[in-house]
Amino acid sequence: MKYLLMVAGFFLLGFYTKESAAQSPVERPKLVVGIVIDQMRWDYLYRFQERYSDKGFKRLMTDGYNCENTMINYLPTFTAPGHASIYTGSVPALHGIVGNDWVDNRTGKSWYCTEDTSVKSIGGGKAGLMSPNNLWASTITDELRLATNFQSRVFAISIKDRGAILPGGHTANAAFWYDGETGDFITSSYYLQKLPDWVSVFNKRNLNDSLMNLNWNTLFPISTYVQSTADDNNYEGVVKGEEKPVFLHLTSLAVKRKDKGAIRTSPFGNSMTRLMAQACIAGEKLGQGNNTDFLAISFSSPDYIGHQYGPNSIEVEDSYLRLDKELGLLFDYLDKAVGKGNYTLFLTADHGGAHNAGFLTDHKIPAKSVSIKEINKDLNQYLMQQFGVNSLVKSLMNYQVLLDEDLIKSNKMNRRHIRQEIIKWLKMQPGVTEVLDMESPERLGVALLKERSANGYNSNRCGSIQIILNPGWYSGYAPTGTTHGSWNPYDAHIPLIWYGWGIKKGKTFRQVNMVDIAPTLAALLHIQMPNACIGKVIEDVLK
């Protein structure tokens, strides 16, 4: 009997040894690269396509999978909610990043999306007091770290702090963003106690000055920019140090006045971001280990340029032709450093941008740039007449009505009556399509508007009344440039292209949503979806 047990034991041992040897690791790419382009309208893929090179956008469109009808399914369409929603696969109502800024209705404190005064700045000044602590949900980058017992490495890079911190998630090895005071890439003590040597070496190169001293001229003869308006027009803003918004832009003047932040509103911001990303790949040896690494890159300068000049400017057209070249250089670098076919990449945007209102009206299309501050002032005057108390509305931030709850309580006022009067008054204002009562279960209005408003609403961080403006209408900073934030296709229709390991070639015109990116990555990597994910896998993308 003893002999039989020994034989059986050896047999089983051999069986399990063979089974163990036969098992192979989960198939995953060596590196995932997430690229978010800040304020890229979907139509820019085609509007400037004729002069894109074969190495940038065209390479992705030809050899990758293009989701042509990708939409943002919440309000407002701003930078911070966009980055958070891409990487959590969720909406602001659930992940908590309801805007770039908000007021906590429980405490009355105003918050910036990534501010954190409990941390220390590493490598910079106040710009380093940031972390992902205001983000409630996990990200796909967090889930990759969890799935590999934190052996996968995650890094995130952007000129904007929120463009790096939110994609990096809670468990990133580090996120690096640009300090406009010093001209350096920095981080916070949330991640590290000192900058890695490769970052210090990168900062010492002082690329800000060397790039800005090149000055910004058009890549091609200016007369050939047929997709844009004339260079000198009333739709574009003038940057500091210039008299007109025209080429040649003497960006070198910013170097003389030691304005390190000026690079943001030039294509050189994209160049510096791309070079920083490559330095990170080399410095951290990303894609060289036994586990899949993740690099999140956000190109922020298109947003600054769009706000300044508007989508019909030669500046925007030229900046995208230059960005196309930067992408080509990045892809070539990835091919050499990681290996072609060894990495998976996706490219998308956090939001689009409206045409300048003046440009539209000059072409007989209804539009208008309005001042939310003026509307807020007029609304408070009306409420003063009705109730005898001033400043009942704190702000109309994020196109939402934020009440002064303490003032209403201290004056023992009828809150319901006040809200009814606000809704009635707002509905009578020109350019207002709909006013949604976010506290009422019987919300009226178009189903799509209700859905997107609900997806963006959180009672702790949002105003309880949502304002929807007419198409083409927006709250602008000035009559020049543009902005974003609405539900309309010019703000909510974004590019989404997949490329590389595990990705099919092709395209689809069926609607998918921004929140579908994270679960698709989860399926590709065979890991769990982020913990607040509501998106669906885009099955067509995967081999």
CA angle 497, 500, 502 (to 5 degrees): 100
Q: Which residues contact 46 (CB under 8 A, 6 or more apart)?
A: none
Phi, psi angle pair for 44, to nearest 5°: -65, -25
Angle at 351 between CA 348 and CA 354, to 5 degrees: 130
| Closest among 132, 192, 133 to 163, alpha carbons compared | 132
309 close to 236: Cβ distance less than 8 angstroms: yes
**Which residues does 460 contact at the CB level (< 8 Å), separation at least 6?**
104, 105, 106
Q: Which amino acid is at 488?
A: N
C-alpha distance from residue 308 to each of 132, 154, 311, 491 (Å)? 28, 33, 9, 16
Record the tokens describing residue 503, joined without a space. Answer: 């990705």
Q: Answer for the pair 345, 32: CB distance below 8 angstroms, yes or no.
A: yes
Active-site residue identified among 17, 62, 70, 79: 79
Distance separating alpha carbons of residues 311 and 299, to the nearest angstrom: 17
Catalytic (active site) residue 79: yes
Beta carbons within 10 angstroms of residue 105's beta carbon: 17
Q: What is the DSSP letter of 223?
A: G
Contact between 38 and 86 under an 8 Å Cβ cutoff? The reply is no
Catalytic amino acids? 79
